[in-house]
Structure 1
Amino acid sequence: MKIGLYFGSFNPIHVGHLIIANYVAYNTDLDKVWLVVSPQNPLKPSSSLLNEHHRFHLTELAVKGEQRLRASNIEFTLPRPSFTIDTLTYLAEKFPTQEFTVIMGSDSFQNITRWKNYEQLIKHYPIYVYKRPGHEITDTHGAKVEVLEAPLLDISATTIRRWIQEGKSIRYLVPDNVAAYIMENNYYK
């Protein structure tokens, strides 16, 4: 089975993430896409992060009932901060019969040479890159890259968090069940 790993803080998960995950699940050779909730991104500040178990639960709610998408908390048990190559190494040992592919935006791919052991990552794992405006892929760094034209929405989790703090509606930006759970639990207030 071929599994795509879509890493993110998902703080919170929103329809932009879900459109990309769903597009990749149904428009590539992947059987499933795992949305891997990262407890801590080494390249992002962690101060504004909602607790990872809450973010994972929101991600689970968002993909509920979708056969090809799955929320994953695999990084919660690994050392922090989470490095993609360490997670891939762990998954390859835990699931030796699965083939893993990394899914990322062209903005992240532009920074791949800053990632821990990126040479090992690009040598052993294919990367599906969805284009983000203003971030052209001019150099593949020798990686097995498949460039995808996924539909993009200009939605950011930062904006969603700000709107929640300002008491504005986030309906249509996140799935209804996610919005309801965020409001019930006073997340991001």
Structure 2
Amino acid sequence: MATQSELTLADYTFPAARLRRRISTPARTPLVLIACGSFSPITFLHLRMFEMAADYARFNTQFEVVGAYLSCVGDAYKKTGLVKAEHRVNMCSLAVAQSSWISMDPWEALHAEYLETAKVLDHFNYEINEVLGGVETGEGRKKCHIALLAGADLIQTMSTPGVWAESDIDYILKNFGAFIVERTGTDIDEALSTLQPWKSNIWVIQQLVQNDISSTKVRLFLRRDMSIRYLVPEPVVQYIEEHELYDDDGAASTGSRSGKGKGAEGGQEAKPAGEAGSSGSGGG
């Protein structure tokens, strides 16, 4: 498989090999989970969020999960600790190499310009429902519901005035919705109180086993020359060591950005301001 540095948009093909093309219960709605973010680096919490969301959907909704995707922000997102997109895509690819249902899609990272979260979700909707035609049910074809998967930090940024354009919040939550994993230190009820118009399209997942791993903490450990094993997948540890990433936070990064647009770590971080002052979600 080509690494991200060898890929271009001209070479790009949508990674559909792990997308299940038929649901087992025709009455259910097929669901595809999308985690957008920095993933610098990807951690076990990022991966665990998919499993939590799949369990939640199976027991608490009429959805049937048929696939999941990681989508890394591109190099236009300037932030301290954000190594080049090719490294983050490669690390994510290594992290999900053994997964039967989680894929890495490099499409967002291949763009030189910053892409808003809404555009990324539109991309998945187009590829899965328009190009592939959704999934088979045994009683005909059904379009997949595309949903954002994020940490509670995302909802907190959405409820903070001035961080997101309301039109973008409305577009994302009305058309796609979000599965949100609760996070220590985030008052999810307070955050949701300002998002009542979209509450039926927001699913909150409780962490039954608390996990406080964050990309920020992993980078801190690396700067202090401390072990990060069992915080991130072993192939990612080896990749970081091989490429000498994060030795000095910022030295291998594409640049830094301060001010508005930076959200809490661990689950999701806000993307930099985009059109109409909007920002999106990011994982570390």
TM-score bucket (shorter structure): 0.7 to 0.9
Q: State how many pairs are aligned.
A: 187
Aligned to 2:181: 130
Query: Do the aligned residues in 2 keep the contact of 1:25 with 1:33 (CA within 8 Å)?
Result: no
In 2, the alpha carbon distance for the partners of 1:78 and 1:100 equals: 21
Kindly provide the amino acid, as one letter, of the partner of residue 125 in structure 2: A
Aligned to 2:84: 51
Gaps of 5+ in 2: 1-29, 58-63, 135-143, 248-284
User: How many angstroms does 1:71 deviate by?
Assistant: 1.5
Verify: 1:33 aligned to 2:68, yes or no: yes
Q: Which consecutive segments of 4 or more residues in structure 1 shift more than 6 A? A: none
Gaps of 5+ in 1: none
Aligned to 2:235: 177
SS at match of 2:197: coil
Equivalent in 118, 132, 142 of residue 197 of structure 2: 142
TM-score, with length taken from structure 1: 0.88
Evaluate the alpha carbon distance shift between residue 52 and residue 161 of structure 1 in structure 2; reply closer, same or farther with a 3 A threshold.
same
In terms of fraction of residues, the more helix-rich structure is: 1
Verify: 1:63 aligned to 2:92, yes or no: no
Deviates more, 1:87-96 or 1:7-16: 87-96
Verify: 1:108 aligned to 2:163, yes or no: no
In 2, the alpha carbon distance for the partners of 1:145 and 1:41 equals: 29
Deviates more, 1:117-126 or 1:85-94: 85-94
In 2, the alpha carbon distance for the partners of 1:102 and 1:73 equals: 17
TM-score, with length taken from structure 2: 0.60
Query: Do the aligned residues in 2 keep the contact of 1:60 with 1:71 (CA within 8 Å)?
Result: yes
**RMSD, aligned α-carbons:** 2.1
Aligned to 2:18: none
In 2, the alpha carbon distance for the partners of 1:47 and 1:80 equals: 18
Evaluate the alpha carbon distance shift between residue 26 and residue 61 of structure 1 in structure 2; reply closer, same or farther with a 3 A threshold.
farther
Evaluate the alpha carbon distance shift between residue 41 and residue 31 of structure 1 in structure 2; reply closer, same or farther with a 3 A threshold.
farther
Aligned to 1:80: 113
Deviates more, 1:59-68 or 1:139-148: 139-148
Evaluate the alpha carbon distance shift between residue 152 and residue 84 of structure 1 in structure 2; reply closer, same or farther with a 3 A threshold.
farther
Mark the structure with the bigger radius of gyration: 2
In 2, the alpha carbon distance for the partners of 1:51 and 1:63 equals: 19
In 2, the alpha carbon distance for the partners of 1:131 and 1:187 equals: 30
Verify: 1:17 aligned to 2:46, yes or no: yes
User: How many angstroms does 1:10 deviate by?
Assistant: 0.6
Kindly provide the amino acid, as one letter, of the partner of residue 66 in structure 2: D
Aligned to 2:128: 95
SS at match of 1:110: helix
